[in-house]
Amino acid sequence: MFSLIIWPYDFWGEALVTVFLSIYVLLIIFSTLIVYLFLVSRGFSDNVARYYNRKIIHMFAGGVVATLTPFIYTSPLFPLIASLLLAILLTTARRFKPMYWFQSRDNFYEVNFVLAWGISVFILWHILYDPFKAVLPAIFISYGDAITGIVRNTLFRRRTKHWIGNIAMGLICIPIGLIYADITGLIAAVVATIVERFEYGPIDDNILIVAISTLILIAPHLIVLVY
């Protein structure tokens, strides 16, 4: 039966952890400026340097925090709050002082990433009561989607949806899906790897990966409730 798991067992302890993790995430974001300047100085185009930085942030910010979340939180409250605040920060930065070393003028995909990350963890935690399964879509977009971009960027020096990136994503996501959620996680990983190739305007692969993998993960739970 569905019920809300809102209040953490150790509210102030988890709040303090969230502060430290938020500082860590901001340090990752701003340290990629160094990466951007280095890549540009080496002859990489502005777009390629920015794209590398997005994937670095995916892994070392989104991925690390998603991996730690089941071990340090007893509720998805603070992960959701932190993701919403970061989304507000990134959106505000776009309006007043864009972080040009990873933000692109033509899309809001980094904001989509943060929102998809936090909302999926919150929803799955309440439906499945399992923090490891709850972070699986967030891990898919953090590590899996990142490796697709790094492989493609390295091979083609531009943003593309070449299938070689999906193979790399599958090699990362399928074992993780199996470990975190058995056969359901494996299926979610395979489908997420496939849908990564698609985008529909503002609905990018971050949203599609999270939406599809979330539905797959909750499907067995819903079937049990029906019967």
pLDDT per residue as tens digits for the range 109-126: 999 999 999 999 999 999
Assess whether pLDDT exceeds 60 at residue 226.
no
Which has more pLDDT, 149 or 184?
A: 184
pLDDT per residue as tens digits for the range 48-83: 999 999 999 999 999 999 999 999 999 999 999 999
Q: Where are the domains of the chain?
A: 11-226
C-alpha dist (Å) from residue 220 to 14, 104, 181, 209: 31, 38, 11, 18
Assess whether pLDDT exceeds 90 at residue 161.
no
Please check whether residue 104 is in contact with residue 98, taking contact to mean a CB–CB distance below 8 angstroms. no
Looking at residue 185, its pLDDT comes to: 97
Q: What is the pTM of this model?
A: 0.91
Q: What is the DSSP secondary structure assignment for residue 202, as one 8-state letter?
A: T
